[in-house]
Amino acid sequence: NRTIILASRPVGMPSKENFTMETGPIPQVNKDEVLIKTIYLSVDPYMRGRMSGIKTYVDPFEINKPLVGGVVGKIVESKNERFKEGDYVEGHLPWSDYSISKGKNIRKIDPNIAPISTALGVAGMPGLTAYFGMLDIGKPKEGETVVVSGAAGAVGSVAGQIAKLKGCRVVGIAGSQEKLDYLTKELGFDAAINYKSENVYVQLKEACPDGVDVYFDNVGGEVSDLLMRIMNFHSRIVLCGQISQYNNTEVEYGPRIQGKLVTHSILMQGFIVSNYSTRFKEGYEQLGKWIKEGKIKYRETITDGLENAPDAFIGLFTGENIGKQLVRVAKE
Ligand code: NDP
């Protein structure tokens, strides 16, 4: 049984040296436990914060201990009456070939409703993040202009499509031409801008002739500084993530924006998806329905092999992924 371990805390951009792999026996199954064979594991930007050793809303990862994150797997042995052999489950589990659970940190998923991998993406935590962030905080209304940064990723691609379903003009910001094409040609975004290109501010103003009513922010930094200049009266800024800052070793200072929030009565609110845990059922049902009806499309970028999980994780910060980045550990 192989397990990926945090060998050292990254400083700045994470590197492969921060990770190592250990091999041990497949764990024994005791009373009330199940043995799970990992099929997919999820690499997520928030894990960078946990690697830093600073307590935020979750405890930091410990050095020389396994990385833990979203996993989809199959029950291969069960001594728990709620689960049987062959059940597919999703949960918060170690980056290992096999792991043990008492059943509290896993939920059953139905492979007949959607491919099991989606339980880590469009029909899982990232989908829920887009759903609650966009609808509860962004509150997009028909005819409004919505801008999403990190738009071609797991959360951003769903957030933008939800705003389209609400009848908005939706503009996505992402880091490559391939991603811009994906947003406008496949997902139905009205316009898309490459933040690595020239004159981003001019392009933004052209794409948002009526200003911006909702900004769903996944990246922070300079992109968000530019957005602030075109936010409308009574607009809403949904602070979902700040990935451009996660590898910074020093605090980056930008324009002081509070004045604009005052003069334009702008609401800016951060959130963590788990704030909405009592409403997850509603989110899963609505996302499942939209996916089934073809109203929400999705893509996955799949890296093969547990040993390549560190590379897949690092790739989030260089923009390797379109849609949800997963690691396939074993065949379904
Ligand atoms: P993504 O699938 O969007 O992957 C990360 C993407 O971020 C990359 O593909 C890359 O795309 C972009 N990126 C990387 N570095 C930078 C940079 N310096 N500036 C701008 N863009 C960058 O990840 P997720 O969808 O899982 O997460 C998106 C955001 O949402 C993250 O900030 C994450 O922390 C946050 N999040 C928040 C949650 C919450 O509860 N609040 C829950 C889940 C996620 P590109 O090529 O466009 O640069």
Q: Which residue type sits at 73?
A: G
Is residue 113 over pLDDT 90?
Answer: no
Same domain, 162 and 264: yes
Same domain, 137 and 258: yes
Same domain, 230 and 158: yes
Q: Give me the pLDDT at residue 227, please.
A: 97
Same domain, 114 and 142: no
**Residue-number span of the structural domain to which 93 is assigned:** 2-120+299-328
CA 266, CA 206: separation in Å to the nearest integer? 22
Q: Give me the pLDDT at residue 56, please.
A: 80
Pocket of ligand 1 (CB under 6 A): 44-46, 126, 129, 150, 152-156, 174-176, 179, 218-219, 240-244, 271-273, 316-317, 319, 321, 325
How many Cα atoms occupy the beta-carbon half-sphere of 223 within 13 Å?
26
Same domain, 138 and 106: no
Same domain, 100 and 185: no
The 10 Å Cβ neighbour count of residue 302 is 14
Q: Give me the pLDDT at residue 167, please.
A: 98
Tell me the CA–centroid distance for residue 241 and ligand 1, in Å: 7
Q: Give me the pLDDT at residue 53, please.
A: 86
Question: What CATH number is given to the structural domain containing 269?
Answer: 3.40.50.720
Q: What is the mean pLDDT of residues 221-240?
A: 97
pLDDT tens digits, 23-78: 999 999 999 999 999 999 999 999 999 999 888 888 899 999 999 999 999 999 99
pLDDT tens digits, 79-107: 999 999 999 999 999 999 999 999 999 99
Ligand 1 pocket test, pick from 48, 219, 325 with the greatest ligand atom count within 8 Å of Cβ, gives: 219
Same domain, 114 and 207: no
286 inside domain:
no
Q: Give me the pLDDT at residue 257, please.
A: 87
Pair 284, 18: CB distance under 8 Å: no
What was the ipTM of the complex prediction?
0.99
Average pLDDT of every residue of the chain: 97
Pair 99, 52: CB distance under 8 Å: no
Candidates 177, 152, 268; CA nearest to 215 is 268
Pair 67, 306: CB distance under 8 Å: no
Claim: this prediction has a pTM higher than 0.95: yes
